[in-house]
Amino acid sequence: MPDLPALPSLTRRERGLLYFLAFLLLVAVAGPALQASGLGGISFADDRGWRGLPHAMDVLSNLPFAAIGVWGLRWLHWLDRAHEAAQDAVPLPQAATQPPVNMLDCAWMFFAGLILTAAGSAFYHLQPDGLRLAADRAGMAVAFAGLIGCAVCERVSARAGWPAAWFTLAGGLLAAAVYQETGNVLPWALVQFGGMGLVLTLALARPLNGGIGLKLGWVIFFYALAKLFELSDHAIYEATHHLVSGHSLKHLTAALAALPVLHALQSMGRQTLRHNPGAATVTA
């Protein structure tokens, strides 16, 4: 009987990640149901319309998500073409260091998720209800998954990033569906706060060799600031004399949490140009 190939051993960080994700899954399945007050029945401070557009500020403040998402996807497309040009110009043994494929795959998911987040959140805020809230969270789940994958690639291992991203995506979509059907918010809370807790933990860990220099601390900072604005929705609306609400500021600030990922990709692009100046002629 032929010997079976040995399974790759897990590093200490990979085991820790596996245990953490298994714990979240166990709590989501066996934990007590946490019932929200209503499906999509949140009362937002700013309900003003503009030129026939209802809840205009909460809708339009999602545009930065879409803008950064498109910007990031264009950079990823340029990076792909630039590295192909480098390989064509330089023999493989002397070529510039290859991009971290799993990291870039997770980045594609992240920036696509930002565009879906913009679409889902705008759709929800036009007429908030339970079904539209599920669409909003589905888009957020894609962005969360891509971010978790990038963070894991940077601080745990490249091979663990893509599975972690898909685990988060599946969990996020299921959590949104569970909330829509039952009103149980626990699974979604685990995806959102458990995921950001994981990012915070990884931000405190030493980056791996060969990472792209993703500054996770700034991601956490902007995310925490966005949550503070969200919780202060009505207070900020009154304090600014109805100029802007906390929820609109939440959208704008949460979009800034994507800039560290974009900055890391741009740094990778500049490194590509140093190794292969001819890549500057490649258009995105």
Q: Hey, which residues does 53 pair with through a beta bridge?
A: 50
Burial class of residue 95 in the structure, from the number of CB atoms within 10 Å of its CB (0-12 exposed, 13-18 middle, 19+ buried):
middle
Cβ 112 vs Cβ 124: under 8 Å: no
Say if residue 226's pLDDT is above 70: yes
Query: Amino acid letter at 49?
Result: G
Rounded CA separation 164/194 (Å):
13
What pLDDT sits at residue 82? 75
What pLDDT sits at residue 38? 55
What pLDDT sits at residue 2? 53
pLDDT digits (tens, 9 = 90+) for 119-172: 999 999 999 988 899 999 999 999 999 999 999 999 999 999 999 999 999 999
* Range with lowest mean pLDDT among 13-22, 30-39, 150-159, 250-259: 30-39
Q: Count of H helices and E strands in the chain?
A: 12, 0
What pLDDT sits at residue 284? 43
pLDDT digits (tens, 9 = 90+) for 25-60: 999 999 999 887 655 557 899 999 999 999 999 999
Tell me how crowded residue 258 is: count the other CB atoms within 10 A of its CB: 26
Q: How would residue 88 be classed by pLDDT, with cut points 50, 70 and 90? A: low
Q: What is the mean pLDDT of residues 247-252?
A: 97
What percentage of residues in the chain have a pLDDT greater than 90? Answer: 71
- In this structure, what token pair is assigned to residue 210? 């060969």
Q: How would residue 72 be classed by pLDDT, with cut points 50, 70 and 90? A: very high
Cβ 225 vs Cβ 175: under 8 Å: no
Burial class of residue 30 in the structure, from the number of CB atoms within 10 Å of its CB (0-12 exposed, 13-18 middle, 19+ buried):
exposed
Query: Amino acid letter at 26?
Result: L
What is the CA angle 107-113-114, rounded to 5? 95
Calculate the alpha carbon distances from 125 to 49, 130, 134, 247 in Å: 11, 11, 12, 11
Average pLDDT, the chain: 87
Residue 206: which of 154, 138, 169 has the closest Cα? 154
Residue with tokens 């960080």: 13
Cβ 113 vs Cβ 149: under 8 Å: no
Rounded CA separation 17/224 (Å):
22
Rounded to 10 degrees, the C-alpha dihedral 94/101/113/17 comes to -140
